[in-house]
């Protein structure tokens, strides 16, 4: 195996391939930075290039673009408060506050470092214990998924302040939006009003651009007009300090491990993992009251989680030939076009190419970290562009992001509606994150529940009979009710108050 | 207006080229293939393969780029083409029976009559697959179990009820005399998840297309019980057909293209000729082999008739199953 | 301490709107076609109905705000009078009372107008107009800068997306330029 890996490195480190990896990371980051264009969109745009390349080079290109765009997504979260993809929603909470405090540099840097550690961990796991642990993904059937989704939804409790009613309303509305479209389990069209553009439901990008981009643009414009825009503190340093790194290292490790475990399951892995680890973080770290106020750990944790998760989603794909979520489906398509049939025999039949791919993942991770040394500096300067020039451009590019989804005017109208609603919610302190979580998990939650009931022929006992699902449901209940029991603890009260202020 | 302009352009072009009557019409500029799915999906691959072969062989002079327009199992794509791209001679759109189901279920106000079906360039067979250690050794075991108690067998597939994978199960149930609505069918988001669920033992039989099962079949992790076609697959000739095993199901998943409405006759004929030539090139044969498609083709009027008949047939079937009133 | 804030009529209006949305949502569940499903398993309407009911209940909660009433009663018992909401200063028009002004309305008209008209007007024209208006609304008054910047951004964005990333952007009323 080592020999094969070394051969892989030999190919991946060829000057041409190194150049391709560098270009891929750069292009991926630059496109991923554009609001509304996440990893999936970026990969899709670059797939035509793959045709003209030999398989190994093409795969190197794709992985480096993927890494780059994942990282680019977090950059927009930090700089302009617009999550580039659903896995970066949590990053906005602390990331953007850091940027406003003049700490855009350290925020971007810790995101890069966290991503590097998490990404490398994921590849190491893939290299050495990939196949055995990938089987764990098979243990998750509909019943287990349902329990996991319920667990994920319970994290809403820790995201929000003391106003439970507002977060329930927000979550519930997100779940309601998720029911729009053709119901997978029955094939019935729901809430589509006969419009074909609604049949696939409301895309995350539509809601995110509306609720984050439009809202941010308008709020900034209001603040500029009223002269109340907070002066962005001038950055004193662009890289993260040693003590900051040590301070956030435990968060990175926790994010990495949980991100990896959750990310290996197909579906909403990366996003779910950020919500769950952030929630855990609030429970286990010291000074939880700092989270949500521009704490560097609030960037380090979700960013490591989503990178570990996206690395982990490649484990079942490469070892068992089973696609995970979003971007791995694009990778799967690319593999098929390169005449590599994903499956358990991939290592035997296309060993050279697959090992090159794995080697290129190490290279891509490292490349991204090195690339960010200069890039962080440049991106941090974005904060210095006057809002009156930056915001209109953000608006235009966000619109293109929505438009490129399926060239539908309906999406644009929905974006506008989401913008108005998002603005109201921001002004009147309705938390947006539960809505996003509801939107992302809603479809799968319902599907998994009904799939499980079809399998069990209508008996709800299936969720209690399966050990994994039972365990997850118990955890969910603990998460929900433990805070009530702990309410008298001083630390907890402090955390709640800080969350409310935020 | 545009049509007249095109006609004039066509005449102007035809003038100097009148010596070579066969080349009366040639596309100029950039070509486009709309894939009404996400990148990596079946329609996307159909588009990208044709685009690559047409460019490689020089059959299409300019470049062809692929636009992804996912939504509503092809409903978004067809709506866009009918309303916005009338008479666009440089545009083809990939299609398959999944679109026929969208049409048959009336999920779109349009049918194959509003567009110009162009060609079927290949076909794929579907089948039933179980884990290597499944208690179902042959299709006969499955049939026996289902006849004894239809609810004792659970199927997973990558489409909603009334879609491509569910229809495999429904047609099979009908063929062996089991009430199709009594069969336990668990729908998943795509064939990959349906396969995962079967591999994990959460469902017993997966109804998939062969290409989705190829990797696991080659590794011996799963076993094909039956191919749902009158012929065996050329890639896996060991798997018997359902017909051979006493369950006559002929369900072929074609892969093809349609064009926007209002395309001139010359342009349409050029595309038909080009597609006919394309499927005979070695480049195409190589791609087809890769994807595991069978060389079953139909062109022009033949294909138009086929898809329209199919839409009627599926509609009747869906009515029978209670999906359309 | 929070009474003044929570008793504001806004909360009740929010509750009312939420109730309306929930009602409309529940009403629409009747239009979900009744496809085949296995007996004893939840159908396509079960989950939406549940959500609609929860949403309606939350709306009702806000509308009635029982929490407020309890707090008021408690405050009365304690002898402290609850702080009343400050009435809007007389003479102000409805706009101002709602916290709106021309700038706010103009901003949203520009943003929503862009989203609404972009597909038909075409990307270049709509974007140019948006950039000019929005930059002006953000307080840039030097017209030569506004116009040249809008033009430059429009062209750069259009060209890089159209030719760099193959995103089809509508030309709209500039469609004639294609030929």
**What is the ipTM metric for this complex?**
0.83
Q: Which residue in the set B65, B67, B323 is minimally distant from C35, CB to CB?
A: B323
Considering only CB atoms, which chain C residues are within 8 Å of A391?
134, 138
Mutate to test the interface with C, among B107, B161, B178, B203 (most CBs of C within 10 A): B161
User: CA-to-CA distance for B275 and A195, rounded, in angstroms?
Assistant: 33
Q: What is the pLDDT along chain B (325 residues), one digit of tens a residue?
A: 333 444 344 444 443 333 334 456 788 778 889 988 876 678 888 888 888 888 888 888 878 888 888 777 888 888 888 888 888 888 999 999 989 988 888 888 888 989 999 999 999 898 999 999 999 999 999 999 999 998 899 999 888 888 888 889 988 998 998 888 888 999 888 788 888 889 989 999 999 888 888 888 888 889 999 999 888 888 889 999 999 998 888 888 999 999 999 899 889 999 999 999 999 999 899 888 878 888 889 999 999 999 999 999 888 888 887 777 6
Residues 16-35 of C with CB under 8 A from B: 35
Same domain, C67 and C108: no
Question: Does residue A422 carry a pLDDT above 80?
Answer: yes
Same domain, C119 and C158: yes
Residue of C nearest to A175 (CA): C51
Considering only CB atoms, which chain B residues are within 8 Å of C179?
5
Q: Does C35 touch chain A (CB under 8 A)?
A: yes
Q: Does A322 touch chain B (CB under 8 A)?
A: yes
Would you state the pLDDT for residue B51?
87
Residues 57-116 of A with CB under 8 A from C: none
Same domain, C64 and C137: no
CB-CB under 8 Å, A343 with B39: no
The CA-atom distances, in angstroms, between A145 and each of A262, A435, B202, B318 are: 11, 20, 12, 31
Burial class (CB in 10 A: 0-12, 13-18, 19+), A79: buried
Mutate to test the interface with C, among A172, A397, A404 (most CBs of C within 10 A): A172
Count other Cβ atoms within 10 Å, centred on residue A223. Answer: 13
Domains belonging to chain B, first-starting first, are: 2-123+254-321 (3.40.190.150), 125-227 (3.40.190.10)
Residues 116-145 of A with CB under 8 A from B: 137-143
Spatial CA neighbour of A390 closest among A93, A161, A106, A82 = A82
Considering only CB atoms, which chain A residues are within 8 Å of C137?
221, 225
Structure tokens given for C164: 């760099």
Residue of A nearest to C113 (CA): A416
Q: Which residue in the set C42, C58, C107 is minimally distant from A450, CB to CB?
A: C42
Rounded average pLDDT over A378-406: 86
CB-CB under 8 Å, A266 with B193: yes
User: CA-to-CA distance for B212 and B324, rounded, in angstroms?
Assistant: 29
Q: Which of C86, C111, C142 finishes a domain?
A: C86
Average pLDDT over chain A reads 83
Same domain, C66 and C114: no
Considering only CB atoms, which chain B residues are within 8 Å of C37?
161
Cα C32 versus chain centre, distance = 26
Whether C8 maps to a domain, the answer reads: yes
Q: Does C176 touch chain B (CB under 8 A)?
A: no
Q: State phi, psi for B118 to the nearest 5 degrees.
A: -105, -60
Rounded average pLDDT over A209-237: 81
CB-CB under 8 Å, B322 with C35: yes
Would you state the pLDDT for residue B8?
40
Considering only CB atoms, which chain A residues are within 8 Å of C168?
407
Average pLDDT over chain C reads 79
Confidence category of residue A282, pLDDT binned at 50, 70, 90: confident
Q: Which residue in the set C36, C168, C179 is minimally distant from B323, CB to CB?
A: C36
Same domain, C24 and C80: yes
Considering only CB atoms, which chain B residues are within 8 Å of C35?
161-162, 322-323
Rounded average pLDDT over A363-380: 85
Same domain, C69 and C17: yes
The CA-atom distances, in angstroms, between A491 and each of A164, A276, A281, A286, B26 are: 19, 20, 14, 10, 75
Question: Does residue A418 carry a pLDDT above 90?
Answer: yes
Rounded average pLDDT over A319-333: 71
Task: Looking at the complex, report in whole angstroms how far the Cα of residue B96 sits from the nearest Cα belonging to chain A.
Answer: 17
Whether C92 maps to a domain, the answer reads: no
Q: Which residue in the set C59, C135, C139 is minimally distant from A225, CB to CB?
A: C139
Whether C123 maps to a domain, the answer reads: yes
Q: Does A202 touch chain B (CB under 8 A)?
A: no
User: CA-to-CA distance for B246 and B243, rounded, in angstroms?
Assistant: 5
Q: Does B267 touch chain C (CB under 8 A)?
A: no
Contact A287, A156 (CB under 8 A): no
Contact A105, A377 (CB under 8 A): yes
Whether C93 maps to a domain, the answer reads: no
Whether C48 maps to a domain, the answer reads: yes
Residues 128-157 of B with CB under 8 A from A: 151, 154
3-state helix, strand, coil in chain C (%, to 5): 70, 0, 30
Considering only CB atoms, which chain A residues are within 8 Å of B187?
184-185, 187, 451
User: CA-to-CA distance for A82 and A38, rounded, in angstroms?
Assistant: 11
Q: Does A329 touch chain B (CB under 8 A)?
A: yes
Same domain, C19 and C78: yes
Residue of A nearest to B46 (CA): A337
Which residues does chain C have with pLDDT short of 50? Answer: 1-7, 81-91
Whether C96 maps to a domain, the answer reads: no
Same domain, C134 and C79: no
pLDDT per residue as tens digits for the range C115-152: 999 998 999 999 999 999 998 888 878 888 899 989 99
Same domain, C65 and C131: no
CB-CB under 8 Å, C36 with B181: yes
Would you state the pLDDT for residue A198?
84
Q: Which of C86, C112, C144 finishes a domain?
A: C86
Q: Does B46 touch chain A (CB under 8 A)?
A: no
CB-CB under 8 Å, A48 with C111: no
Considering only CB atoms, which chain B residues are within 8 Å of A51?
48, 52
Considering only CB atoms, which chain A residues are within 8 Å of C118?
399, 403, 412
CB-CB under 8 Å, B154 with A454: yes
Residue-by-residue DSSP string for A361-384? HHHHHHHHHHHHHHHHHHHHHHTT
Structurally, how many domains does chain C consist of? 2
Whether C32 maps to a domain, the answer reads: yes
Convert chain B into a string of H (helix), E (strand) and C (coil).
CHHHHHHHHHHHHHCCCCCCHHHCCCCCCCEEEEECCCCCCHHHHHHHHHHHHHHHCCCCCCCEEEEECCCHHHHHHHHHHHHHCCCCCCEEEEECHHHHHHHHCCCCCCCCCCCEEEEEEEEEEEEEEEECCCCCCCHHHHHHHHHHCHHHCEEEECCCCCCHHHHHHHHHHHHCCCCHHHCEEEECCCHHHHHHHHHCCCCCEEEEEHHHHHHHHHCCCEEEEEECCCCCCCCCCCCCECCCCCCCCCCEEEEEEEECCCCCHHHHHHHHHHHHHHHCCHHHHHHHHHHCCECCCEEHHHHHHHHHHHHHHHHHHHHHHCCCC
Residues 233-272 of B with CB under 8 A from A: none
Would you state the pLDDT for residue C154?
93
Residue-by-residue DSSP string for A275-341? HHHHHHHHHHSS-GGGTTSS-THHHHHHHHHHHHHHHHTHHHHHHH----SHHHHHHHHHHHHTT--
Q: Which residue in the set C14, C47, C138 is minimally distant from A179, CB to CB?
A: C47
Would you state the pLDDT for residue C80?
55
Name residue A323's beta-bridge partners.
none
pLDDT per residue as tens digits for the range A172-217: 999 999 999 888 888 788 888 878 788 888 888 899 899 999 998 9
Chains contacting A (3+ CB pairs below 8 angstroms): B, C
Q: State phi, psi for C90 to the nearest 5 degrees.
A: -65, 150
Which domain range does residue C26 map to?
A: 3-86
Contact B70, B37 (CB under 8 A): yes
Question: Does residue A460 carry a pLDDT above 70?
Answer: yes
Bigger pLDDT: A208 vs A158: A208
Residue of A nearest to C61 (CA): A165
User: CA-to-CA distance for A26 and A372, rounded, in angstroms?
Assistant: 9
Q: What is the pTM of this model?
A: 0.84
Same domain, C128 and C162: yes
Q: Which residue in the set C104, C114, C119 is minimally distant from A409, CB to CB?
A: C119
Mutate to test the interface with A, among B35, B76, B99 (most CBs of A within 10 A): B76
CB-CB under 8 Å, C111 with A214: yes
Task: Looking at the complex, report in whole angstroms how far the Cα of residue A171 sits from the nearest Cα belonging to chain C.
Answer: 10
Task: Looking at the complex, report in whole angstroms how far the Cα of residue A259 sits from the nearest Cα belonging to chain C.
Answer: 29
Same domain, C152 and C118: yes
Spatial CA neighbour of A94 closest among A380, A278, A295 = A295
Q: Does C94 touch chain B (CB under 8 A)?
A: no
Count other Cβ atoms within 10 Å, centred on residue C32. Answer: 20
Same domain, C115 and C46: no
Q: Which residue in the set C28, C135, C167 is minimally distant from A191, CB to CB?
A: C28
Whether C91 maps to a domain, the answer reads: no
Q: Which residue in the set A183, A321, A451 is minimally distant from B215, CB to CB?
A: A321
CB-CB under 8 Å, C42 with A224: no
């Amino acid at each position: 195996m080592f020999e094969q890996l070394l051969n892989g490195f030999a190919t991946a480190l060829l000057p041409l391939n190194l150049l391709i990896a560098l270009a891929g990371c750069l292009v991926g980051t630059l496109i991923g930075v554009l609001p509304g264009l996440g990893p999936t969109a970026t990969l899709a745009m670059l797939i035509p290039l793959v045709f003209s390349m030999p398989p190994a080079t093409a795969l190197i290109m794709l992985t480096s673009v993927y890494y780059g765009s994942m990282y680019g997504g977090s950059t927009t979260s930090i700089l302009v408060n617009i999550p580039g993809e659903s896995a970066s929603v949590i990053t906005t909470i602390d990331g953007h506050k850091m940027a406003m405090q003049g700490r855009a540099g350290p925020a971007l840097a810790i995101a890069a470092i966290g991503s590097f550690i998490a990404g490398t961990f994921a590849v190491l796991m893939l290299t050495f214990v990939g196949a055995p642990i990938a089987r764990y993904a098979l243990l998750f059937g509909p019943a287990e998924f349902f329990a996991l989704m319920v667990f994920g939804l319970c994290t809403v409790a820790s995201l929000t302040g003391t106003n439970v009613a507002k977060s329930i309303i927000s979550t519930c509305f997100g779940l309601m939006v998720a029911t729009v479209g053709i119901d997978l389990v029955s094939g019935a069209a729901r809430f589509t009003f006969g419009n074909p553009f609604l049949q696939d439901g409301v895309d995350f990008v539509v809601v995110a651009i509306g609720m984050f981009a439009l809202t941010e643009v308008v709020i900034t414009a209001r603040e500029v007009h009223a002269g109340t825009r907070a002066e962005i503190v001038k950055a004193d340093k662009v890289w993260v300090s040693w003590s900051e790194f040590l301070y956030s290292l435990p968060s990175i490790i926790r994010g990495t491990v949980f991100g990896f475990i959750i990310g290996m399951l197909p579906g909403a892995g990366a996003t779910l993992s950020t919500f769950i680890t952030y929630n855990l973080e609030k429970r286990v770290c010291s000074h939880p009251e700092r989270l949500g106020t521009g704490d560097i750990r609030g960037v380090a944790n979700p960013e490591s989680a989503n990178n570990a998760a996206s690395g982990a989603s490649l484990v079942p794909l490469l070892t068992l030939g089973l696609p995970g979520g979003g971007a791995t489906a694009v990778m799967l398509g690319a593999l098929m076009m390169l005449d590599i049939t994903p499956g358990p025999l991939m290592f035997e039949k296309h060993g050279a190419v697959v090992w090159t791919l794995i080697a290129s993942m190490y290279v891509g991770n490292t490349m991204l970290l090195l690339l960010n040394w200069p890039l962080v500096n440049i991106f941090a300067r974005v904060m210095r562009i006057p809002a009156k020039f930056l915001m209109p451009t953000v608006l235009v590019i966000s619109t293109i992001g929505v438009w490129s989804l399926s060239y539908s005017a309906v999406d644009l109208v929905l974006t506008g509606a989401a913008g108005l609603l998002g603005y109201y919610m921001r002004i009147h302190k309705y938390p947006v994150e539960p809505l996003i979580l509801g939107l992302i998990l809603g479809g799968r939650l319902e599907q998994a529940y009904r799939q499980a009931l079809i399998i069990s022929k209508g008996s709800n006992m299936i969720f209690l009979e399966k050990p994994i699902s039972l365990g997850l449901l118990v955890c969910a209940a603990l998460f929900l009710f433990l805070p009530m029991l702990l309410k008298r603890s001083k630390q907890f009260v402090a955390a709640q108050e800080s969350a409310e202020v935020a | 207006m545009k049509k007249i302009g095109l006609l004039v352009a066509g005449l102007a072009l035809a003038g100097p080229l009148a010596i070579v009557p066969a080349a009366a019409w040639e596309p100029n500029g950039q070509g486009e293939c709309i894939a009404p799915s996400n990148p990596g999906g079946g329609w996307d691959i159909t588009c990208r393969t044709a685009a690559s072969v047409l460019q490689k062989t020089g059959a299409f002079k300019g470049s062809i780029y692929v636009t992804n327009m996912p939504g509503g199992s092809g409903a978004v794509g067809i709506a866009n083409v009918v309303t916005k791209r009338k008479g666009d001679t440089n545009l083809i759109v990939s299609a398959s029976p999944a679109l026929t189901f969208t049409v048959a279920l009336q999920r779109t106000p349009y049918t194959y009559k509003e567009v110009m079906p162009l060609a079927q360039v290949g076909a794929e067979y579907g089948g039933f697959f179980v884990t290597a250690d499944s208690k179902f050794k042959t299709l006969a075991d499955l049939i026996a179990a289902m006849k004894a108690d239809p609810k004792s067998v659970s199927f997973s597939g990558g489409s909603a009820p009334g879609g491509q994978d569910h229809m495999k199960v429904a047609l099979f149930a009908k063929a062996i005399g089991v009430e199709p609505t009594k069969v336990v069918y668990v729908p998943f988001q795509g064939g990959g998840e349906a396969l995962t669920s079967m591999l994990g033992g959460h469902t017993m039989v997966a109804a998939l297309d062969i290409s989705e099962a190829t990797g696991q079949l080659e590794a011996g992790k799963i076993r094909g019980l039956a191919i749902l076609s009158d012929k065996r697959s050329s890639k896996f000739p060991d798997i018997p057909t359902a017909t051979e095993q006493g369950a006559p199901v002929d369900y072929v998943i074609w892969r093809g293209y349609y064009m926007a409405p209002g395309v001139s006759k010359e342009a349409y004929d050029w595309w038909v000729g080009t597609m006919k030539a394309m499927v005979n090139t070695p480049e195409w044969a190589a791609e087809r082999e890769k994807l595991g498609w069978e060389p079953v083709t139909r062109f022009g009027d033949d294909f138009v008739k086929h898809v329209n008949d199919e839409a009627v047939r599926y509609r009747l079937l869906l009515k029978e199953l209670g999906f359309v009133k | 301490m929070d009474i003044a804030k929570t008793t504001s009529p806004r909360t009740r209006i929010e509750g009312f709107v939420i109730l309306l949305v929930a009602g409309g949502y529940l009403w629409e569940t009747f239009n979900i076609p009744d496809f085949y499903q296995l007996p004893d398993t939840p159908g396509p309407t079960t989950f939406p109905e549940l959500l609609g009911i929860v949403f309606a209940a939350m709306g009702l909660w806000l509308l009635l705000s029982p929490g407020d009433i309890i707090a008021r009663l408690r405050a009365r018992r304690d002898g402290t009078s609850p702080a009343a909401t400050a009435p809007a200063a007389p003479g102000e028009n409805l706009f101002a009372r709602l916290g709106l002004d021309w700038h706010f309305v103009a901003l949203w008209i520009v943003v929503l107008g862009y989203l609404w008209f972009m597909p038909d007007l075409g990307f270049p024209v709509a974007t140019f107009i948006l950039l000019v208006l929005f930059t002006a609304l953000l307080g840039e008054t030097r017209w030569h800068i506004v116009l040249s910047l809008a033009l430059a951004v429009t062209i750069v964005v259009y060209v890089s997306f159209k030719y760099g990333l193959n995103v089809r952007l509508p030309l709209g009323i500039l469609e004639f330029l294609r030929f």
